[in-house]
Amino acid sequence: MKINLISKRIYFLFIPIITTILITTSCKESNAENTETAAEEPIRYTSFVDPFIGTSGHGHTFPGAALPFGMVQLSPDTYDDEWDWCSGYHYSDSSLMGFSHTHLSGTGRSDLLDILMMPTTGELKYEPGTRENPDEGYRSRFSHDDEVAKPGYYAVKLKDYNIDVELTTTKRVGFHKYNYPKGEKANVILDLTHGRPNDTVMALEFKLLNDSTIAGMRHTHGWRFGKEKHFIDQKIYFVAEFSKPFSSLEVKGDKAAENEWNGTEIKAGITFDALEEPLMVKVALSPVDIDGAKKNLKAELSHWNFEQVKETADKTWEENLQKIEITDADTSKKTAFYTAMYHSFLAPYLYQDVDGRYPGSDGEIHTAEGFTNYTLFSLWDTFRSLHPLLTITHPELVNDLINSMLAVYDESGLLPEWHLATSETFTMIGYHAVPVILDAYQKGINDFDFNKAYEGMKANANYDDFGRPLFREMAYIPSELTNKSVSRALEFAYDDWCILQSAKILNKEEDIEEYKRTSNAFKNIFDKKTLFMRGKDAQGNWVKDFDPTLSTHNYSDYIEGNAWQYTWFVPHDVPALIDLMGGEETFEKKLDSLFIVSSDVTGENVPSDMSGFIGQYVHGNEPSHHIAYLYNFIGKPEKTRKWTKKIMDELYTDQPDGLSGNEDCGQMSAWFVLSSMGFHPVNPANGKYQLGYPLFDEVKVKLNNGKSFSVSQKNDAGTTWKINGKQLDRTYIQHNEITSGSELIFE
């Protein structure tokens, strides 16, 4: 249906034009002033961030505009299918479909890509076309030479339309700026059907609010796991306000009422007469309703000053990045570091309106009281490095994250495991909200109900699925009864150790013996003959035809890995693992072998997640991330230095393929941030950071309490350490030594 809006312009025409002229003039004057002062400003931390890092290879990152932990991720989509396009963008592409407002950073599965807009000229087209033939649809070719990506800002030239696009954002509002060629009819395509092909569109809504404002809703079921049993149920609402009144509006979809459409396929073509000035669009999101989106728009972006929003976004990122100051002459290493910080601060993301409302896991609308609500808990990945990093850089955020987890528990009866929007997917294994909560509490980040958290921990441990009842009964999981039995048992054992520590803190004597028993379950699946963690059947016999290099997405004992990686997952009791292997000498030889054996992996349907090989060490996936630090436990820190340095030098670069595997919501980058400062936890819940190799000459961490923690080395220093002038007689530092404002020197 097509509506002519020229007759409706009378009441909207003059004020928007006058306002736009005034604001445009103000922007030009502001830009001139900024140009004059820019040369006087020192180099900013944001200048070392390159959002294109990770957009090639298997990094799965996106280059678009976002704020730290913000609701909006406004970014170009070059393709919406296949594994290496989980973020919607891959550096290998040369055409794009448009710009959507929600993206996942570095995940191994795909979702979101909501509310796509694409500026075009000429004839309206409603299909995107293909990468092979962009002319079939509204796609446009582009060149990386015409792309700019900075924290909170993205720009590109659409070659097929000669349109310059700029994007920036507030927390909840995406801001578009389109500079069309003079004298041509200008279009904006809104494609509400756009998203991942594996997502099911449940319902779409579109409304014309006035001759320069539209609104709508997109309801999808996505991110399926486990025979369609678990999926993401998401509703996203939007209000989009344009800086110019429309000339006409054409809607493809079922009309529900005057100026309203609904269905499962809705697309709109908005046209404008030839524009003499850039067209701007403000798109506010809400997880609750259209009124929420309106409130978010009014609160966060009531003006049309694009440069002001861009500068504010840059300032916000600068404040977050300057929490860690690096001194080093190697700019490529600094780029890798600050981009890693940038990626570490994208998720979890904000999930509530400015009035505090958010949709809960029970399907009801709630109001956050005393905390800010967040979502996207990729905990199998992020408990290892990202959450420990945030306890140093963003302790106030950690309280909000844990209170968000407790809200999920109140609404669903379980703490998050792999949770997004209102849904738990149970993607991956373990119940790793447990170490995150314990770690924070023990570090004094405790503005939450720890007793409630403890009940939530036990609820997840006793959940009646994924082999947990068998584990509780047998302290291992029979291989023939549950897929990925060895990996599950090892991760359950670690989480149960965390519950054990929590029980001790709360004096829950009735639980201590039980969780002590299950936290030792790793001893039941270690084979002293092969020195590997192996699968057992229900009678306690080792599974036959054992191959430590076997890895498959099909039924097997290990998830996204094999026995070589998972044998080392006993982060809570490394001395016991050393004893199981027969002592330090045997442990060292086995650990040496991990890094030098063949990288060949056997099996059908080998996980693509396994990448970044050094021998059978696989840095591109999380189960390996603590392993290089295990040499410290046998008095060989020089080997920890050797391998952590090799990993950082070879598997992190300043190029688009500079990540060796999926970014996984900040985990891959957080490992680098911590490790390049010279330390990283083996056990992410005991407040200890094992010492490794500091990549930079000097590091200064500016803490929220006003103190600072510094790390320095001289002449490629070795494995003697001093803290506050006193020599360390251990291979680790403690969290309170960081937060008290210490000085660590590698000598």
The tens digit of pLDDT for each residue in 630-645 reads 999 999 999 999 999 9
pLDDT(114) > 60 = yes
Residue 102 has pLDDT above 60, yes or no: yes
High-pLDDT (> 90) share of the chain, %: 90
> What mean pLDDT comes out for the span 393-406?
98
Mean pLDDT of 442-467: 97
| Per-residue pLDDT band at 2 (split at 50, 70, 90) | low
**What pLDDT band is residue 183 in, cutting at 50, 70 and 90?**
confident
Average pLDDT estimate for 212-221: 97
Pairing of strands 708-713, 743-746: parallel
Closest listed residue to residue 488, CA positions, set 505, 503, 475, 499: 475
Q: What is the pLDDT of residue 226?
A: 59
Structural domains of the chain sorted by starting position, each given as residue range(s) with its CATH number in brackets: 2-321 (2.70.98.10), 353-463 (1.20.1050.60), 464-546 (1.20.1610.10)
Q: What is the CA radius of gyration of the chain?
A: 26
Name the helix (H) or strand (E) containing 31: helix 14-38
Q: Which of 2-16, 370-384, 617-631, 659-673 has the lowest mean pLDDT?
A: 2-16
| More confident position, 716 or 180 | 180
pLDDT at 718: 77
What's the pLDDT score for residue 40?
A: 52
Q: How many CB atoms lie under 10 A from the CB of residue 741? A: 15
Q: Which residues have a Cβ under 8 Å from the Cβ of 521 and sit 6 or more positions away? A: 471, 475, 476, 489, 490, 492, 493, 496
Angle of CA points 502, 507, 512, to nearest 5°: 65
Q: What is the rounded CA–CA span in Å between residue 51 and residue 339?
A: 7
Residue with tokens 């990996």: 487
Of 609, 614, 685, the closest CA to residue 108 belongs to 609
Note whether 77 and 100 are within 8 A (CB): yes
Element (H, E) at 335: helix 331-344
Least confident range of 274-278, 280-284, 712-716: 712-716
Residue 274 is predicted with a pLDDT of 84
Per-residue confidence (pLDDT) for residue 394, from 0 to 100: 98
Look at residue 231 in the predicted model and tell me its pLDDT.
87
Rounded Cα distance, 319 and 639, in Å: 36
- Residue 101's φ and ψ, nearest 5 degrees, are -105, -5
The region of weakest confidence among 5-14, 72-81, 370-379, 586-595 is: 5-14
Is the predicted pLDDT of residue 695 greater than 60, yes or no? yes
Do the beta carbons of residue 690 and residue 731 sit within 8 Å? Answer: yes
Q: Within a 10 A sphere around the Cβ of 259, how many other Cβ atoms?
A: 15
What pTM value is reported for the model? 0.94
Mean pLDDT confidence for 518-524: 98
Query: How does the average pLDDT of the chain come out, rounded?
Result: 93
Q: Which residues of 407-436 are buried (b: 16+ CB within 10 A; e: fewer)?
A: bbbebbebbbbbbbbbbbbbbbbbbbbbbb
- Quick one: 263 exposed, middle or buried, by C-beta within 10 A (0-12, 13-18, 19+)? middle
More confident site: 38 or 514:
514
Q: 110-119, 222-231, 456-465: lowest mean pLDDT where?
A: 222-231
Band (pLDDT 50/70/90 cuts) for residue 1 is low
User: Where is average pLDDT lowest: 71-75, 167-171, 221-225, 713-717?
Assistant: 713-717
Round to the nearest angstrom and report the end-to-end CA distance of the chain. Answer: 74
Checking if the pLDDT of 664 tops 50, the result is: yes
| Alpha-carbon distance values, 390 to 27, 352, 440 (Å) | 36, 21, 10
Nearest to 327 by CA among 703, 711, 739: 711
Cβ pair 211, 241 in contact under 8 A: no
| Helices (H), ranges, 218-289 | none
Work out the pLDDT band at 10, boundaries 50, 70, 90.
very low
